[in-house]
Amino acid sequence: MNKTAQAASVFRKTADTFAAGAKTLPQQYFVSEKIFKEEQTKLFARQWVLVGHQSQIANAGNYFTAQVASESVIVVRDQRSSIRGFYNVCRHRGTRLCQDSSGQVRAIQCPYHSWTYALDGRLIGAPHMDEVPGFDKANYSLRPVKLALWEGFIFVNLAPARNASTERGGYMPLEEWFAPLAGKFAHWNLPVLRSAKRIEYDVRANWKLIFENYSECYHCPGVHPALSKLTPYDSAENDLSEGPFLGGFMRIGKGKSLSMSGNACALPLGNLQGENHSRVFYYSIFPNMLLSLHPDYVMVHQIWPMSPEWTCILCDWFFHPEAAGVSDNSYNPDDAIEFWDMTNRQDWHVCELSQQGIASSAYKPGPYSARESIPAAWDREYLRSMKD
């Protein structure tokens, strides 16, 4: 673990980092089309946005598409095993290239006039274009999208490059952006994990409500009776309490996990140290990732705002790549999946109820409790990012 991560690992009780006077956001942030568009251009089109995990495209030619802000992006593993990102736009007359959300191809071929691109983006086939004086295929590769990996997770960034001479504008390189988390999750082996299940949720609530809800357990006793039996709702301690990365841990029993049975349901993810066997870590990673690390599995939510009042959520459950092959019946992923599917739906339900009330003329920003210091910090980071 490097110095940055060590310095960050001082855990404080949630209420101890509360900034007095913090209130929820005004109504417009949850209902306004104008603010929604601003979020798309200022946050989703400028920051590093989670689109998937490298295990989703394990072999050359595997691809998936993602809609980031107003752009459709192709993420593909090329013949040399590099992962690349391209705008899903043909260089001939602009046609959408890949229409499916995932698949396997030898090359990317346009459905219109069959221009064909290699997996590294080079135009390799353009029927009859040799009749066009001066046409050179080398000038018409697919437009690349900046893409980088953090702990095996694939992020893209649509911002223009930073001006090298002034160090201003554009995006921050991924390693720099993630520097505060460097080495922090090394023991969980995130790059090699595999998703055993993905569930897609459609939630009739603003995307920020999903983050705010994830960031506190003040609601746990009433909303999550089963979760509250496994993890004391007031056991949260956070090591990241300001900025784009927020969160910490909650306690569970040693050898236990968050599952229907309450027991661990797969091989430990790695060589977890000390108390990490009896902790579940929850981190929000601005602007669209929720990372929940259990001793035996990792749950990741991708948060995709669709409209001010509608959010699409992709939830994956990742396990050790060898967990399924263990012969002692210890692998029971459904134990975890069922538990969190139930808990997720409880969360989405209260987020939808919040959305309904916030849309009312009676809504005014309300006071956060001291146990909601992390949602208050998330709101501050959100407002800072919207100002930039």
- List residues near ligand FES by CB under 6 A: 90, 92-93, 95, 110, 112-115
Nearest-angstrom CA–CA distance, 336 and 269: 14
Nearer to ligand FES, 116 or 343 (CB): 116
Nearer to Fe ion, 110 or 203 (CB): 203
Q: Are 315 and 298 in contact (CB under 8 A)?
A: no
Q: Taking CB under 5 A as the rule, does residue 372 contact Fe ion?
A: no
Answer left, alpha or beta for residue 61, where phi above 0 means left and psi between -120 and 50 means alpha: left
Q: Are 107 and 116 in contact (CB under 8 A)?
A: yes
Nearest-angstrom CA–CA distance, 367 and 286: 23
Total residues binding Fe ion (CB under 5 A): 1
Q: Are 119 and 60 in contact (CB under 8 A)?
A: yes
The residue whose Cβ lies closest to Fe ion is 347
Nearest-angstrom CA–CA distance, 83 and 57: 8
Q: Which helix (H) or strand (E) holds 335?
A: helix 333-358
Q: How far is the CB of 189 from Fe ion (least distance, A)?
A: 26
Listed in order, strand segments (DSSP E) in 26-61 are 49-53
Nearer to ligand FES, 6 or 114 (CB): 114
Pick from Fe ion, ligand FES, none: which does 93 bind, CB < 5 to 8 A by kind?
ligand FES
Q: Are 318 and 196 in contact (CB under 8 A)?
A: yes
Pick from ligand FES, Fe ion, none: which does 347 bind, CB < 5 to 8 A by kind?
Fe ion
Nearer to ligand FES, 65 or 241 (CB): 65
Is residue 181 helix, strand or coil?
Answer: helix
Q: How far is the CB of 137 from Fe ion (least distance, A)?
A: 53
Pick from Fe ion, ligand FES, none: which does 113 bind, CB < 5 to 8 A by kind?
ligand FES
Q: How far is the CB of 276 from ligand FES (least distance, A)?
A: 51
Q: Are 371 and 14 in contact (CB under 8 A)?
A: yes
Nearer to Fe ion, 25 or 227 (CB): 227
Q: How far is the CB of 313 from Fe ion (least distance, A)?
A: 13
Pick from Fe ion, ligand FES, none: which does 95 bind, CB < 5 to 8 A by kind?
ligand FES
Binding-site member from 347, 372, 379, 381 for Fe ion (CB under 5 A): 347
Listed in order, strand segments (DSSP E) in 164-309 are 194-203, 237-240, 245-251, 279-285, 289-293, 298-307
Pick from Fe ion, ligand FES, none: which does 102 bind, CB < 5 to 8 A by kind?
none
Nearer to ligand FES, 92 or 197 (CB): 92
Nearer to ligand FES, 88 or 189 (CB): 88
Among the listed ranges 90-98, 135-143, 344-352, 380-388, the one in contact with Fe ion (CB under 5 A) is 344-352
Nearer to ligand FES, 91 or 184 (CB): 91
Pick from ligand FES, Fe ion, none: which does 92 bind, CB < 5 to 8 A by kind?
ligand FES
Q: How far is the CB of 111 from ligand FES (least distance, A)?
A: 8
Nearest-angstrom CA–CA distance, 208 and 342: 21
Q: How far is the CB of 128 from ligand FES (least distance, A)?
A: 11
Q: Are 44 and 156 in contact (CB under 8 A)?
A: no
Tell me the longest C-alpha to C-alpha distance in the chain.
73
Contacts of 167 (CB under 8 A, 6+ apart): none
User: Does the N-terminal peptide bond of residue 133 adopt cis geometry, omega within 30 degrees of 0?
Assistant: no
Chain positions contacting Fe ion, by CB under 5 A: 347
